[in-house]
Amino acid sequence: MKEYEFVDDLTSDVLFVAYGKDVNELFVNSAKAMFDIICEIVPATEEVSFEIEAKDLENLLYLYLSRLLAEYEINELFFSEFQVEISGNKLNAKALGSEADPKQGKTQVKAVTMYKFGIKKTDEGYEATVSCDI
Amino acid sequence: MKSKLQKINENMWRLPKSVRPGMRVDAMILANAQALDMIENEAIEQLTNVAMLPGVVEPVMAMPDAHWGYGLPMGAVGAFDPENEGVISSGMTGFDINCGINLVRTNLTPKEVQAKLRELVDESFKTIPCGVGAKGKLHLEKDDLNNCLKDGMKWALSKGFGVQEDLDNTEEGGSMAGGDPSKVSELALKRAKKQLGTLGSGNHFLEFQEVAEVYDQEMAKKWGIEKGKVCFMVHCGSRGLGHQIATDYLKIHEEAAKRYNIILPDRQLACAPINSQEGQDYYKAMVCAVNYSFTNRLVITHWMREVFERIFNKRWQELGLQTVYGLAHNICKKEMHIINGQEKEVYVHRKGATRSFPDIPVLIAGSMGTSSWLLKGTKEAMTTTFGSTAHGAGRVLSRKAATQKYAGGAVEREMIAKGRIVKAANMRVLAEEAPGAYKDVDAIIETVDSANVSKKVAKLIPMGVIKG
């Protein structure tokens, strides 16, 4: 199964579709796609953990990706590995990476947007569509 | 939708509310034929979404640089009446609150700057943190951060950044009233701690420019602008603080819209009534980001003065490094406008739009490698565009399409061939920001000038560019 792919949506800054056989994998692959926009793959030497709660799965994904944007800036880390454990509407997350270096930086993501944002159940598992403001 | 536009004159087009059920007001597009041709149909459709929101004041306006955005197009203005169920929207202000521009003049000639341009570009690049992952040089403790969010440039001045004239020559004096840091989330505050004085990435830049042409001698003289002198321009915003406030309130406004039974034609238009808790909380938080961003550009200006002092071995005052003007082009403001013959306060969302008040400077940035403009605001803008004008060139290609079409190295070589120096944190950003990915800014300027929405004062052409 593909992890994610970027879709050329002329009117959006960057739009990707991420896949997962279960929701945990879907969230991890969404995070990988977003950090593929932001930076090169870096060694996972440091980690950040956090918990999130939301009213439904879609909101959980929006808050998770938005939180990762905040955490990488606050901790000045680029992330390349992600661990997610979802139970109901709660999420425990760990993001691993190393000290941010502009030489390994690609493009800044300002925010995750609601444009075409959504999660779909498919025959193979789940599919998320995410559009990022650059 | 484009086919339904009615021509008012060479520069103005009306999209009547009859084109779509649910539209409360007409939409208007300020564009000459060339500029209109460059506005996508999807952007025009987005205007109809905004025209459906409660309390919207006629008309919803698109500027000639309009292009598709999240919710409201970039290059658009939406005014809302607080006494008529009007709404305020995080999505309509944009994710980069108070993304804006500062223009600083110098006494230096292009020849003097050209002789030291490489040194100037390299030293600026080293001094101003820029690019994804760049580390800020200031770490604000809680009290300083709170004061910065409440008082903006006034706080910065008390800390030794800039001079009073910088505040005098900034929209809102660089210190917009009404900010309340208690309405800003902890996460947003944490993001703000280390990012003051950073340029960011994407379309943000620092550019050395030559005053190539002056069109209005009187205003140019008043603002210290002279043909054949050098200026620099800083384009950046409120960084992670603004992005987080926008993200937080997008979710809060999504819930608020449900609570107040507001039908959202687009999820990105999530909004709350102006006179609701959720509406006022957003306004107070947004003002904090506005003040942070004004301060951000002042701190960068302060450090750039030090760069000039090191390179030219003179005090910045001797070099004449005065702020011509600093302004916002993503903001929501309470302003007095004439509505149906009566003056009243409305909330004006300017997203990718610049304030254009009579005889006040307007700055419009071109794409990398093309001209930028200094203009003056007009009385006509007050009656046609809620005192607003364009903000830039506007994209025609997505970033992905731009990277497929252009290579960063080739863009750099093209710039060098024109005698310009460009330095970026990485090559990819040069491809994404290639001039061909943007509209022709001169066509935008022709529209706003001939429509008298803002008048040309001076044309600025790039000499050296720093991209984050």
Interface test with A, best of B42, B193, B400 (most A CBs within 10 A): B400
Q: What is the pLDDT of residue A11?
A: 64
Q: What is the pLDDT of residue B41?
A: 93
Nearest one of B456, B399, B443, B464 to B33, comparing CA atoms: B443
Task: Name the residue facing A106 among B200, B398, B428 (closest C-beta).
Answer: B428
Quick check: A70 contacting B, CB < 8 Å? yes
CB contact under 8 A, B190 and A103: no
Strands of the A46-53 sheet, one edge to the other:
A46-53, A90-99, A77-87
**What sign has the CA pseudo-torsion B262, B266, B272, B278?**
positive
Quick check: A104 contacting B, CB < 8 Å? yes
Task: Name the residue facing A11 among B40, B135, B195 (closest C-beta).
Answer: B40
How far apart are the CA of B468 and the nearest CA of chain A, in angstroms? 9
Q: What is the pLDDT of residue B449?
A: 98
CB contact under 8 A, A114 and B270: yes
Question: For residues B370 and B435, is the Cβ–Cβ distance under 8 A?
Answer: yes
Interface test with B, best of A48, A106, A116 (most B CBs within 10 A): A106
What are the pLDDT tens digits along chain B (468 aa)?
Answer: 899 999 999 999 999 999 999 999 999 999 999 999 999 999 999 999 999 999 999 999 999 999 999 999 999 999 999 999 999 999 999 999 999 999 999 999 999 999 999 999 999 999 999 999 899 999 999 999 999 999 999 999 999 999 999 999 999 999 999 999 999 999 999 999 999 999 998 889 999 999 999 999 999 999 999 999 999 999 999 999 999 999 999 999 999 999 999 999 999 999 999 999 999 999 999 999 999 999 999 999 999 999 999 999 999 999 999 999 999 999 999 999 999 999 999 999 999 999 999 999 999 999 877 899 999 999 999 999 999 999 998 788 877 788 888 888 888 888 888 888 999 887 878 888 888 888 889 889 999 999 999 999 999 999 999 988
How far apart are the CA of B320 and the nearest CA of chain A, in angstroms? 33
CB contact under 8 A, B398 and A13: yes
What is the rounded distance in angstroms from the CA atom of residue B398 to the CA atom of residue A8? 8
Chain B residues 189-248 within an 8 A CB cutoff of chain A: 190-191, 193-195, 200-202, 240, 243-244, 246-247
Interface test with B, best of A34, A74, A75, A104 (most B CBs within 10 A): A74
How far apart are the CA of A43 and the nearest CA of chain B, in angstroms? 15
| Structural domains of chain A ordered from first start | 4-8+15-133 (3.55.10.10)
Q: Is B391 a catalytic residue?
A: yes
Q: Which residues in chain B have Cβ-Cβ distances shorter than 8 Å to A61?
A: none
Task: Name the residue facing A106 among B132, B193, B243 (closest C-beta).
Answer: B132
How far apart are the CA of A79 and the nearest CA of chain B, in angstroms? 11
Q: What is the pLDDT of residue B433?
A: 85
CB contact under 8 A, A102 and B95: no
Distance between start and end Cα atoms, chain B: 37
Residue with tokens 């409440």: B150
Q: Class of B2-85+97-396+438-467 per CATH?
A: alpha beta
Give Rg (Cα) of chain B: 21
What are the pLDDT tens digits along chain A (134 aa)?
Answer: 899 999 987 666 889 999 999 999 999 999 999 999 999 998 999 999 999 999 999 999 999 999 999 999 999 999 999 999 999 999 999 999 999 998 899 889 999 999 999 999 999 999 999 999 98
Q: Which residues in chain B have Cβ-Cβ distances shorter than 8 Å to A110?
A: 95-96, 202, 243
Q: Which residues in chain B have Cβ-Cβ distances shorter than 8 Å to A134?
A: 202, 399, 432
Quick check: A123 contacting B, CB < 8 Å? no
A–B interface: beta-carbon pairs under 8 A: 114
Residues shown for chain A: 134
